[in-house]
Amino acid sequence: MFHNAALKRTALSPHDWWLLWTCLALLSLGLVMVYSASVAVAETFNQNHNYYLIRHGMYLTIGLAGGYVMFQLPSDLWQKLAPPLFILGVVLLALVLLPVFGHEAKGGQRWIPLGALGKLQPSEFMKVFAILYAADYTVRKAAHMDDIRKGFLPMFAVMVAVGTLLLMEPDFGAFVVIITVALAVLFLGGLNWRLFVALMGLLIVAFVALIRVAPYRMARVASFWNPWDQPLREDYQLSHSLIAFGRGELTGVGLGSSVEKLHYLPEAHNDFLLAVIGEELGLIGVAAVIGLFAWMVWRAFSIGWQAALMQRNFQALTAQGIAVWLGVQGIINMGVNMGVLPTKGLTLPLMSYGGSALIANCLALALLLRIDYENRRLMRGKAKGIGR
């Protein structure tokens, strides 16, 4: 009875307006804060203080337009396209490693130049493709989820191939997110819990090994344990992030008044945008961002739960996969900014500067809203025409 009542209440509106406005609030605040955090860098390197604002606005426009188109298409279509899209993602990950296609910067080769449009980062779109593929695979293999040979090993082999390509770039952050999301979708889809626990243990061992074999990763872990040990070297970025939060206190120093963004805090408009929010908007601003993210992730899980109640298993796993992706990446970015987790190059979803990441986020949210829209049509008894 409780479930039926909850479904009826949710079905009163054709759209989840609270979720939509939450997403738009995060996107809008991200645009404002990217502009604020990038002014000094833009004036120094591009002689135009609006440079990053214009480009971020362009990416946001592309993302919203792409999301609108994606929302118009039925979710069943994306289930059919999941395998070819995943193959496309693997091809792009391979192409980016070739000197003729890939662009090297900041010690990694993760981008494909697109001229005036900037650079394409395949690993960001691979996060969406991996969710679709894992959801489709789990639905197709539902009867074999307890069979390690038929249910798990094929997916494991695919993820090893994708992980290898990501580590060759190297993009350890995307590797962690994609593997985590894929395993979460498999577990939510019925993967044997004993196998899941064993895999998590193996993954922890693998992550530790990957950190130990790379000196720069070991340096980041050491910086995380003691951020004030070498504040002018390995600990520089984290120490200035913590200084930014300290300066912000409860209400912040005021929008646009950050000192740390004036070439003290590297990547202030990108990976460390939350630190600038903490400095300019204070604890209240950071708490608002965390609250908006928490609500968005909770609604994504709820949409997946509603789809599962109606036996829409692909849609349920896709919605929950999106929730895991945005939640895990958001927690990692926030934890890095606050010194709770070792420094890792992952953007804050929906907010940080970056074309591929922002567009991929918009596409994922459009798909989430589409799944919710279809749920509501079914709950209102409009099963026919769900594709419109």
Cis ω before 170 (30° cut-off from 0):
yes
Please name the residues in contact with 110: beta carbons below 8 A apart, sequence gap of 6 or more.
96, 102, 121, 122, 123, 169, 171
pLDDT of 341 strictly over 80 = yes
Distance CA 159, CA 69 (A): 29
Listed by start position, the domains of the chain span 2-379
Distance CA 327, CA 324 (A): 5
Please name the residues in contact with 387: beta carbons below 8 A apart, sequence gap of 6 or more.
73, 74, 76, 77
Q: Which two tokens stand for residue 84?
A: 């070819």
Rounded to 10°, the helix 17-45/355-379 angle is 170
More confident residue, 30 or 200: 30
Cβ 49 vs Cβ 256: under 8 Å: no
Distance CA 358, CA 347 (A): 9
pLDDT of 5 strictly over 60 = no
Q: Reduced to 3 states, what is the DSSP secondary structure of residue 103?
A: strand
Cβ 338 vs Cβ 245: under 8 Å: yes
The pLDDT of residue 329: 96
What is the pTM assigned to this prediction?
Answer: 0.90
Cβ 136 vs Cβ 79: under 8 Å: yes
pLDDT band at 222; cut points 50, 70, 90:
low
Please name the residues in contact with 251: beta carbons below 8 A apart, sequence gap of 6 or more.
281, 282, 283, 284
Q: What are the pLDDT digits (tens) for 142-180? A: 777 777 777 777 888 888 888 888 988 888 889 889 989
Largest CA distance in the chain: 64
Q: Residue 388: how many CB atoms within 10 A of its CB? A: 8
**Minimal CA–CA distance to 355: which of 266, 227, 260, 269?**
269
pLDDT of 384 strictly over 50 = no
How is residue 115 annotated by DSSP?
Answer: G
Distance CA 120, CA 355 (A): 8
Cβ 47 vs Cβ 21: under 8 Å: no
Q: What are the pLDDT digits (tens) for 260-293? A: 999 899 889 999 999 999 999 999 999 999 999 9
- Mean pLDDT of all residues in 112-140: 91
